[in-house]
Structures are given as structure tokens and as C-alpha cells.
Structure 1
Amino acid sequence: MVTVTILPTVATMGIEILILPAMAGLGLALAAGPLGSFVVWRRMAYFSDATAHAAVLGVALALALHINVLIGVVVVALVMALLLTRLSRGHAGDDTNLGVMAHSALALGLVAIAFVPGARGDMTGFLFGEILAVGARELMVIWGGAMLIVAIVLWQWHALLLATVSEELATSEGLNPQRLRLVLTLVLALVVAVGLKSVGALLIGAMLVIPAATARAFARSPEQMAFGASVVGAVSVLAGLLVSLYVDTPAGPSIVVAAAGMFALSRALKPA
């Protein structure tokens, strides 16, 4: 039986636990900023949601096979992303297909985990994150994954940017757009695994899209937008944790609310 419990808040646990959650959130913001920019440029919001929702199925698989949850999440998220890439290629109505896959993956994961022997059934942490429960080991995994993601994006930055502008132009320059899509797919699966502990499967898509959309209002170059997205994500993490401290609200959702507030502010202050 799947149950939902009240999410922990900073106010109920004490301010001394803010350091590790803040560092974990900053690691996620660092990785999600550049990748989120490509998600926005390529209009892959549904794609990222479907991949993130599949992470719940990865959790069920990991628990059933008694393997590390991170491995299960990466494998299933990557398989889902590859499947979505194949299904969406050359079809009309991609948003419909991606929407169906996103919600179906989440529902299938919730159903599957209910049949895992010995599973506790409390899905709150997997759905909304447990950033307040991040320990030193999880922090190392988050930052290790974040640095790997940033390294891959920087390594392929020019090629990914060129393929985003025009796949025909990328091909004329000797690049392989299909391979570059595979790179984005792999990195997206990694960021889902990294963000699952912080904000959960339901909110990781928001941390990819909202900071990047906020930074786009003021960026004058792709590099500025990618950097600005990481900054907006970092500020959202710190602001969300402070809101959780003083207003006694769930930390993960508070981070996303802070990001949404910055997006609304950017729309109001957007230069003509």
C-alpha cells in the first residue's frame, strides 16, 4: 500500500541541517542550468518530465533487484529517454505522445513499487525529494554527478548548440545530430538521478525548465543564459530553504515555488 506522509520542513528539524541541503541544491542547480537551457531551446519540457517520472519505476526496479537506487534510476530514465527519442522522431502530435508516456511512466512506477516485497510504500521522498535528509555520502554522489554533467555539456557545447540551431547546419559541419541527441538523452537521465534526492521525480522537470526560462529574459547569448539558469537555480534553492525555515513549508516544493516566483518577477521586469 502506497502512503503519503507530511513532508519534513526545516523549521521542524532545526536550522543546523541547512548546510548539507543547501550544498546538495547548489550541486543540482549547477547541473540543471546548462542542461535546462537546451531543454527550453529544444522545447523538451514534456520529454524531461517523462524521463523524470520514469525514475519512480527505476526505484521500484532497484528495490526489487536489491541494487543501488541510483543505478536503477539511471538505467530506467535512460531507457525511457531513448524510447521517447525514437517515438517522437518524425511524428506529429509529439506533445500528446510525450504527455501519455510521462503520466503512464509515473503511474506504472507507483503500481510497480506497491508489489515490491519489503518496500516501505512511503513514496513522498521519491516524488517530492528529501533534500533535508541528504547526508555526506549523498552529497558526494550529487556533486560527482553534477560535475560529470557539466563536463559533458561543456565538452559538447558548441556541437550541441549548433545542432539546436539547425541540424542541417550541424550535418554540414561534419557533426552527427543523432549522436548529439543521444548525448542530451544521457545527460538528462543523469540529472534526473542527481535531482531525485533533492526535489523528487515530480519536481525535477521544474528545476530544469523554470530557471532557464527565467534567465532567458535577460540573457544576450547562449552562454549567459546557461550561466544565468544556474544562478537562478542556486538562488531558488537558498530562498526555498529559507522559506521552509521561516514559514514551515516542505523544502523541495518551496524551492520550486521560489523559482516560479523569480520567473514571474523576470516576466514583469523583462526589458522591452
Structure 2
Amino acid sequence: MALFLIFALLVAFIAIAFALQNDQLININLFVWQLQDQHLATVLLATSGLGVLFGLLVTIPAFLKREWRISRSKKQTHSLEDQLLAKQQEVESQTRRASTLRHSYQNLLQSLDLLDNTTGFVSDAAVSRTTRSLLQQMPQGQLPSVGLLLVQPQPRQSLASDLKKEQALWSAVAQILQHNLTVDAWLFSNNQGLFTCSLTGLDLKAVNQYAETLRSVLTNEPVTLSDGTQTALDVNIGGAVTDTEHPTTDERLLIAKAEESLALAQKRGRNRLRIIWVTD
């Protein structure tokens, strides 16, 4: 504002100086009109003012159009923000419902003694029955696909057969996997460092992306144990996916193919993953 005021005063000073130095009288002719004995400075300033006015008149439509576009963009932005907020609230609500339902299932499984005490996951003894139940829902159209991931983390440094430290490591890994668990997934553990994840509704590409996410969160940074020590991991992941276009009703085949994929991933080296379609 101060800069604008200084500029306005400077223009006024120049105009006054121009008027004082150009006070000659002139005659003006415009078509049938005639003006006699007009000051040169007054004429020049008047024509300059008219030029500025015409310039403003020309720019006003563009200015109004720009302001209208800005106003419309703001309204669209507010509308999108409201929609995004509503979607976020809907997702949070669904996540809370899923968490509550999962917690109730966990309590039921705990009462049935089906949970691994170290990780809090379902014992891998239930993998076969769970997979069979999921496969039975596919022909009925309730599930578009079923997948299994076998996650095999290995510490880069030997734990020297320290059972307590191994259990602390598997517990820490379990917490990381639980934090990155999708809504339609369950985790199983054999209490010896092998984790199984059942997935529904994901195609092969999505399962690969999810497996890559799990591998990244376990290998990008060392895992912190409950005593504060850190352990770097190598992680191999194998998996198998079946859907209505690649169907199977045999849970043993799906599990066997996932185990085969894990073995191939381990054979290829450290931090490898392999996911395949399964058909009878």
C-alpha cells in the first residue's frame, strides 16, 4: 500500500510539472466540433486519461471473467473438500467397524485357544480350514478372489538360539504386519517366524503390490524389539491367487502353490517375492 501511494504521488507530481511547463494555447478540431484556446497540457492529460479509461473498459470483461472463474473454482474446491471429508469419515467409520468386528473375532479365537501367544495371530493350524471356507464362498459370488501370502522374515545376524529374543523378534514383526493389514485380510503364525496372510477381493497385481508393501516395511529399517535393540531383516514372500477366471476349490492346492512360490523366491536370493495364479 505504501509503495502504491508513493507511485501515485510521483505520477501527480509529474502531471503538475508537465502542466506548468506546457501552458501553450492550441485549437482542437474533431469532426464538426471545434475548441479554441485550450491549454496543451490539459488536452494531453485529458487524452491520456481517456486512454486509461478506455483501457480499463477493455480489461473489465476479462477481469470479470477471471473473477467468475476463480469464484467457480473456489466453489468446486469447497465441494470437493466436502466430498473428500465425507469419504474420509465413511472410511474411518468402516475401519472402526472392521476393527471392532476383528477384535470380537480375536476374543472368540482366544477363547477357543486358536491364537499364537507370541504374535497374537491365529495359529497356522487354522489356515487350511479358513482357506477352505473362503474358497467355498467364491462359486456363490460372495468373493471375487482368494489369495495366500507366506511371509518369511530372517534376521541378518544370528540370534544364537536365543528363544526369548526370537519370540521378541516375531512379536515385533507381527506388530508391523498388523499395522499394515488390509481390511479384508487375516494373519496367521506358526510361532517360528513364518507368517501367512489370507486376502480376498484382490487380483494378482494388487496382491503383488501388497506383498511389496509388506516386504518394504520389514526391510527398509531395522525392526526394534521390546528391549530397544534393533535387528535388520531379509524377507522372502511367496503367494498364490485364485479367482473366478482361475478357479480352484482345493485349499490344499492353493496352500501348496503358495509354499512352492515361497521356495522359488528363497531360491532366487534375499528379499525376493513371487506370486502366481492357481488353477486346477
Which TM-score band applies after superposition, normalised by the shorter structure? under 0.3
For CA contacts below 8 A with separation 6 or more, give which structure has more relative contact order: 1
TM-score normalized by the length of structure 1: 0.26
Structure that is richer in helix per residue: 1
Higher Cα Rg, which structure? 2
TM-score normalized by the length of structure 2: 0.25
